[in-house]
Amino acid sequence: MQYKHDPLFPARFMWGASSAAWQVEGAVNEDGRTTAIIDLNSKKKQPYTDNSIAADHYHHFKEDVALMAECGFTSYRFSLSWPRIFPDDSGVPNELGLKFYNDLIDELVKNGIEPIVTLYHYDMPVWIDEKFNGWYGRGIIAEFDRYVRTCFQEFGNRVKYWLSINEQNMQICYGDWLGVSKNKETWFEDKWKVNHILNLCNAKAVIACHELVENGKIGPVPGYVPIYPASANPEDQIAAMNAEELTEKVWNDFYAHRKYNGFIKSYWRENKIDPDIRPGDMELIRKAKIDFFGLNCYRSNVAMACKITDTEREQELNKSGVKGNFIYPKFPGLYQLTNNPFVETNDWDWEIDPVALRYMLRYVWDHYQLPMMITENGFGGHDSVSSDGKVHDPERIAFLRDQIYQVGLAIQDGCEVIAYNPWSFTDLLSTGNGMSKRYGLVYINTTDEALLDLKRIPKDSFYWYANLIQSNGQNWGRSL
């Protein structure tokens, strides 16, 4: 529907931004923290990404929260580092790790900012990986339960919104890239066993949250890439639905309905895959009723039919930041992805598609009727400080304006959306391009090549967003 007026945001809508511990904190060897698998994964990647300092939020958190308050934030979504809280297998939490998060949460609360806390954003302690074979073994489930229970007990008096696992679907779909897969050759089958263990951990977190946090609410965070069919050819529509199942819907159905859907069961049968579901697993899962969906959305995809006789092609992300290097995958008998002539792309070939957000919110609301919060959305660019000492990021302002407007339209359409937290507050490390792909509303003065003074410089987008927040989504800066 087209409206004759700008959308209205609800009175208590939460406006903020987002981050993840391993990408923003730095201080990887300080105050007892031990190594996370993602620290090692980022080191072995090309281009190389070292997270030992990142935005050094660990030492600048008060300054960072003061800037959030200046921007008018009413929420901040961040993650806890598991190896900061449980650095070893003693079963005893690290007091200094807990202190860091207690101080950060206190600072947020003092400034009227609602903490929205992710329990797992890729930083499994290396000791867990070594002792239990990471996500491949069942030993991690009890350890994850211990970790999340400690977090709920320690922070649950101030944190009411919890996020269980960040982008479980992406960790499975991009297992190699995100360091989850241990063997590329067998990942096709292994991934469903790993996914089932992640599902059990998600269930543990949901159950424990409801048990331990008074008025606590918890939801998963799927990484969402809406998929359009390439044409009105009915086969392209089915291909788009296949892509939707195998990248998103299998997970979202599972979280909402607490059982595996018919599509994935048929896919497993067809491909002779055993996800290793054991007695008692589904009983546990059935008890884990989520309260809302956290949704990460940056871009959209286009799918078309792919004949079963065609040759498989792996997706290749554009890692260089030079346009034209993204390779679209082919999955014979299921779907293939292709480019979208109707949208622009950024330097990493990510589609800039604001309507994707409205589509996603409509889709998730229609399917699950649960409240939703945007936990990530944002523009990665090559930002720099200009000669006037400021950071001018008109592309990010245009991106955020167009995307947030679509969130407003989805609300107008009847969807229940409670928060918008774009990626990211300060610049932080991108998963594959370190500091050279910047997302922040606040510039961090450092580069991948040289450590600089880490000065915080609010970008033009910071001031634009502050005006929008102050008007509760009415002051768009110019007519759309």
Q: Which residues are tagged catalytic? A: 167, 376
Strand partners, 118: 79, 163
Q: Which is nearer to ligand BG6, 423 or 425 (CB)?
A: 423
Q: Which is nearer to ligand BG6, 166 or 242 (CB)?
A: 166
Rounded distance between C-alpha atoms, residue 343 and residue 326, angstroms? 15
Hey, which residues between 222 and 241 contact ligand BG6 (CB under 6 A)?
223
Max CA distance (Å), the chain: 65
Smallest distance, Å, CB 455 to ligand BG6? 22
* Binding residue for ligand BG6, selected from 143, 154, 376, 393, defined by CB under 6 A: 376
Using the CB atoms, write b or e for 439-458: b if 16+ within 10 Å. Answer: bbbbbbebeeeeeeebebbb
Instruction: Say if residues 218 and 209 touch (Cβ distance below 8 Å).
Output: yes
Q: Per 3-state DSSP, what percentage of the chain is helix, strand, and coil (rounded to 5)? A: 40, 15, 45
Taking residues 430 to 459 in sequence order and writing x for each that binds ligand BG6 by CB under 6 A, - otherwise, the string is: xxx----x----------------------
Smallest distance, Å, CB 378 to ligand BG6? 7
Mapping DSSP to helix (H, G, I), strand (E, B) and coil, where does residue 370 land?
coil
Smallest distance, Å, CB 282 to ligand BG6? 28
Rounded distance between C-alpha atoms, residue 287 and residue 274, angstroms? 23
Smallest distance, Å, CB 37 to ligand BG6? 14
Q: Are strands 442-444 and 351-352 parallel, antiparallel or unpaired?
A: unpaired
* Binding residue for ligand BG6, selected from 17, 20, 415, 466, defined by CB under 6 A: 20
Residues 163, 164, 167, 172: what is their CA dihedral angle, to the nearest 10 degrees?
A: 180
Question: By CB under 6 A, which span of 32-40, 354-362, 429-437, 456-464 interacts with ligand BG6?
Answer: 429-437
The amino acid that residue 137 corresponds to is: G
Hey, which residues between 264 and 323 contact ligand BG6 (CB under 6 A)?
296
Smallest distance, Å, CB 12 to ligand BG6? 26
Q: Which uninterrupted H or E stretch holds 1?
A: none
Using the CB atoms, write b or e for 249-266: b if 16+ within 10 Å. Answer: bbbbbbbbebebbebbee
Question: By CB under 6 A, which span of 132-140, 225-233, 428-436, 464-472 interacts with ligand BG6?
Answer: 428-436
Hey, which residues between 43 and 82 contact ligand BG6 (CB under 6 A)?
none
Hey, which residues between 152 and 181 contact ligand BG6 (CB under 6 A)?
166-167, 170
Q: Which is nearer to ligand BG6, 148 or 295 (CB)?
A: 295
Smallest distance, Å, CB 273 to ligand BG6? 25
Enumerate binding residues for ligand BG6 (CB under 6 A): 20, 23, 166-167, 170, 223, 296, 376, 380, 423, 430-432, 437
